[in-house]
Amino acid sequence: MNKKWVRLVLVVLSVFVLSVLASGCGKAAEKASEQAAEKAIESATGGKAQVDLSKNEVTIKTEEGSTRIGGTNQWPAKIPSDVPKFESGKISSIMESTPTEGGYQVMVGIEEASKADVEKYKEQLESAGWQITSTTVIEGSYMVTAEKDNRTVMESFSADDKNVYTGGIYYTEEPE
């Protein structure tokens, strides 16, 4: 992973820690936390950042494109309808990227899924006309990659000691 993106991930994690700390400190502390987080992200990425802790959302814009992290915990409307919704478990996070050269990428973080839920999603992809190009099942881990045209869906989950699965659905649309 690119060092720039590693720094970005660390900064974004710091933003969410700040949001937790600021949540009990009133509007002035929240605004100060937002501004500090924006400066840290801008320094790490060289782009412009907008942090809105009241919406639990971070938006980063650089000459390479834009990324939005957080916000709503609902299935993103920009994912095409032929990509099955993962309707089990609980959506815990959303990260959307729109590169300037075109395309679209989104990661939907999911918690509290079962092994049956994870296995069923592969069947739903096949039923929707997606070609399964890879399946990896290793004790406690499950990964499926499916392709259609210039698009890829990857399902990746791992189980905890109670056999509860956490992971996500990654959708990528390459520019045409």
What digits encode the pLDDT tens for the residues 96-137?
888 888 888 999 999 999 999 999 999 999 999 999 999 999
pLDDT per residue over 140-155, tens digit each?
999 999 999 999 999 9
Closest CA to 53 of 75, 66, 69: 69
Residue pair 68/78 in contact (Cβ under 8 Å)? The answer is no
Residue pair 75/91 in contact (Cβ under 8 Å)? The answer is yes
Of the chain, the percentage scoring pLDDT greater than 70 comes to: 80
Average pLDDT over the chain, rounded to an integer: 82
In the prediction, which pLDDT does 108 show? 95
pLDDT per residue over 34-65, tens digit each?
777 777 777 777 777 777 666 677 777 777 77
Question: What are the tokens at 27?
Answer: 């509007």
Q: Is 77 exposed, middle or buried (0-12, 13-18, 19+ CB in 10 A)?
A: exposed
pTM of the model: 0.73
Q: Which of the four pLDDT bands, split at 50, 70 and 90, describes residue 11?
A: low
Mean pLDDT of 87-102: 89
Higher pLDDT among residues 21 and 129, named by residue: 129
List the beta bridge partners of residue 95: 69, 107
Q: Residue 106 CA to chain centroid, in angstroms?
A: 6
Mean pLDDT of 10-26: 52
